[in-house]
Structure 1
Amino acid sequence: MTKRERRSFSKDFKEQVVQLHLAGKPRADIVREYDLTPSALDRWVRQHQSSGSFQEKDNRTPEETELIKLRKENQRLMMENDILKQAALIMGRK
């Protein structure tokens, strides 16, 4: 099985495909006609129903948003800790 090149789709295209699905066109026909993966179509439909937006940041749960924030803060604190360790080593040599 060959790996498919990653493609990007416009918001308008996603909206049109979702509207076709909501109008009753079979999922298999949409996937075949537009050469999509079934998981991409399912994700677009789910995103459209939950928030009406296809942006990942608009479809995150509060827990996911908090986790991303905490990971960034943790990374920043680890960098600060490394800087302080290096400063302590330099000051200890003097």
Structure 2
Amino acid sequence: MAGRQGRYPSEYRERLVELARSGRSAASLAREFDPSEQTIRNWVRRADVDEGFRSDGLTTEARNELRRLERENKRLRMERDILKKAAA
């Protein structure tokens, strides 16, 4: 399995999403451009959620906030555990 490539520029993703929405299949776009068919479908699904066309997932903004809160929660738990050990 190939390693993960770097991120595609947002303009590139947006253009492929537009092409997919205009009727081009993800398979034809994948043959013509670099991203895989599944990657293009994922981008379209994410754009649909972000723009309110779908309601079966978190928006990108909500996902980023959730990640931030999870990191903060992890840090706070570690600090709490350190303080518990220091007090013992």
Where on the TM-score scale, by shorter chain, does this alignment land: which range? 0.5 to 0.7
Q: Tell me how far apart the structure 1 counterparts of residues 61 and 15 of structure 2 sit (CA, whole Å).
A: 19
What TM-score does the superposition give when structure 1 sets the normalisation length? 0.64
Aligned to 1:83: 83
Aligned length: 80
Q: How much does 1:5 deviate?
A: 4.2
4+ residue runs over 4 A deviation: none
Q: How many percent of aligned residue pairs carry the same amino acid? A: 21
Aligned residue type for 2:13:
K
Kindly indicate whether the alpha-carbon contact (under 8 Å) linking 1:50 and 1:59 is maintained by their aligned counterparts in 2.
no
* 2:30 alignment partner AA: V
- Write 1 or 2 for the structure with the bigger share of helix: 1
The change in CA–CA distance for 1:14 and 1:59 in structure 2 (over 3 A counts) is: farther
SS in 1 for 2:35: coil
Question: Which runs of no fewer than 5 residues in structure 2 stay unpaired?
Answer: 52-58
Q: Structure 1's 31 and 68: CA in aligned 2 closer, same or farther, altered over 3 A?
A: same
Gaps of 5+ in 1: 90-94
Residue of structure 2 in register with 1:50 after alignment? 49
Q: Which amino acid aligns with 1:14?
A: R
37-46 or 4-13: which moved more?
4-13
